[in-house]
A and B are shown apart, each in its own frame.
Chain A
């Protein structure tokens, strides 16, 4: 897998999307984090295949999604045909059997090692939704699905506007919080695709992202993250923000405590977001200890008071 230039990819995405829809998308994931920390450095890239695009707010997700995907397909973007549900569904196809919208740029050979694709998601319709939900997206080719995860609303909370590009980019600390909330423990579920030749636990990969973001942020003080996290949680989950805050750190604490899990997280980082500047395992652990001691304990303190 080659390294992608975050600036080049986001510029291409922005230019391909209809201008009136740009304000409705938020780029999340490793590319968003990489764009935050080293978009100005042409020597640094990120190893990723998928560029996650969240349609937000939910009220415009379907309408904007239709406009964007239509324009992209008409411009030659190619559908990624892998997985169980490849063919577009009908209006009667169960939601969880609809294909997701994944598109390769027109100038990329999908079989090449450096192929990347856009994957469209949406924020959940309400705070009460738990787990993975799907929203039907109708196109002339048939019906597709926009997946949504409970904590995507946190990842896409208060995103940064990227000036001339017109699109928005998730704040790294919010993506970190979303990953923390998603994994209050190290579950046994594994990634569907190998990373760096190894099949990793999903929790280790996602919590490794928290460590990668912390490493790139390289702050002397992570406590302000705790305050920002509290605001995001309270705004998104007003009725249960305290309980979510109090469990947010459990998974990362477990990861730091177990060397085998931490090693998987490290493998994920050096084969992804931190591939340009791979840290040692101990340096990654340091980043985790600082996030726990500063940001998570600050959040827990706020939740208890």
Chain B
């Protein structure tokens, strides 16, 4: 019975280290593969591995590729035109979508390997020991917290409160406040608040919003489920750390907003709280379990596909989420505004800002 071994050198392949081997099976993992060129490189490596030893089987695991299965299949078909048929038989491609499991794209496994899905899972779990997502800069968190206080007309807040709400130290917060100084209103006891909409800084935040919020987009083939039905399912999970933002959230904070329809569902997940469901805390791929409960057919979208569900991460200990009377947890105003702007609903975002911001 072969054993699974990680980071193994492969004979006849100078300087190449396979992610894992299992007997004569050699595995290479590619995570979130984004473009065709990288896919072609990966296919070439897989072919070279197979070529290096006529007894081996080369397996390429595509973990959450941003390319669609069809696109991957098309590239594979193209690639195989230059392959010897014998070589082709020994190259396998597996697509792994978290929460949905593994599926064979090409080169089907023989019974010899046994439960190949379990082996793929073990390999990916091993790879999951990668560092957890790092918190974004303190500046962006402090800015958003101050925005919420401002639109809620809380007045200046004490530094100690900012420490508690953002989870950053005094010096870190002080540094962030320096950057925002021209928009700040300073009160007694080192309290601080916004005195006007911080346009420049907000634009900078918006430019980096995907990275700051670890935004992930999901799509579905065929007819998507309505955002309302997915929110209804989210309510059933009774999760206090997943909030509805975007168009629905904006409509909650400002029912009169000029928005018709809900083309996508924006959610904000708070990662500073202990999760109350079984999802991988250390994964760079948050919250797949609940995504699947919204619609089992959702899958990560590539950059060309319209998103049906968009998930943003929040890392502050205080989320300013609000639970509505019907049980929905709503994302705070700052997140909703970012969602609208990110969705390029510029007019509605401006209307939202005008409604929220106190008259000067």
List residues of chain A with CB under 8 Å of any chain B CB: 218, 220-221, 256-260, 279-280, 282-283, 285-287, 289-290, 292-294
Contacts and interface: CB of A to CB of B under 8 A. Distances in A.
Contacts, number: 52
26 contacts: A218-B223, A220-B225, A221-B233, A256-B103, A257-B101, A257-B102, A257-B103, A258-B103, A258-B104, A259-B69, A259-B103, A259-B104, A259-B105, A279-B222, A282-B221, A282-B222, A283-B221, A283-B222, A286-B222, A289-B100, A289-B296, A289-B297, A290-B296, A293-B295, A293-B296, A293-B297
A280 B69 CA distance: 13
Given A218-B223, A282-B221, A283-B222, A290 B295 contact: yes
Contact of B221 (A220, A257, A285): A285
B222 A280 contact: yes
A279 B223 CA distance: 11
Nearest to A297: B296
Nearest to B294: A293
Contacts of A286: 220-222, 297
Contacts of B16: none
Given A218-B223, A259-B73, A283-B221, A294 B296 contact: yes
Nearest to B102: A257
Contacts of B105: 259
A260 B104 CA distance: 10
A280 B296 contact: no
A292 B296 contact: yes
Contacts of A220: 225-226, 229
Contacts of A283: 221-223
B292 interface: yes
Interface of B: 68-70, 73, 100-105, 108, 220-223, 225-226, 229, 233, 292-293, 295-297
Classify the secondary structure of A's interface with B: helix
Contacts of A293: 292-293, 295-297
A212 to B, nearest CB: 13
Interface centre among A257, A283, A289 (most CB of B within 10 A): A289
A258 B105 CA distance: 8
B2 to A, nearest CB: 23
A279 B222 CA distance: 8
Contacts of B297: 285-287, 289-290, 293
The list of the 3 closest CB pairs from A to B, nearest first, reads: A293-B296, A283-B222, A282-B221
A28 B295 CA distance: 30
B112 to A, nearest CB: 17
Nearest to A291: B296
A87 B84 CA distance: 54
Contacts of A256: 103
Contacts of B293: 293
A262 to B, nearest CB: 9
B298 to A, nearest CB: 9
Nearest to B101: A257
Contact of B108 (A258, A282, A290, A294): A258
B229 A221 contact: yes
Given A221-B233, A259-B104, A286-B221, 20 more contacts: A220-B225, A257-B101, A257-B102, A257-B103, A258-B103, A258-B104, A258-B108, A259-B105, A260-B108, A280-B221, A280-B222, A282-B68, A283-B221, A283-B222, A285-B221, A285-B297, A286-B297, A287-B222, A290-B295, A293-B293
Contacts of A285: 221, 297
Contacts of A221: 229, 233
A282 B299 CA distance: 12
A92 B141 CA distance: 86
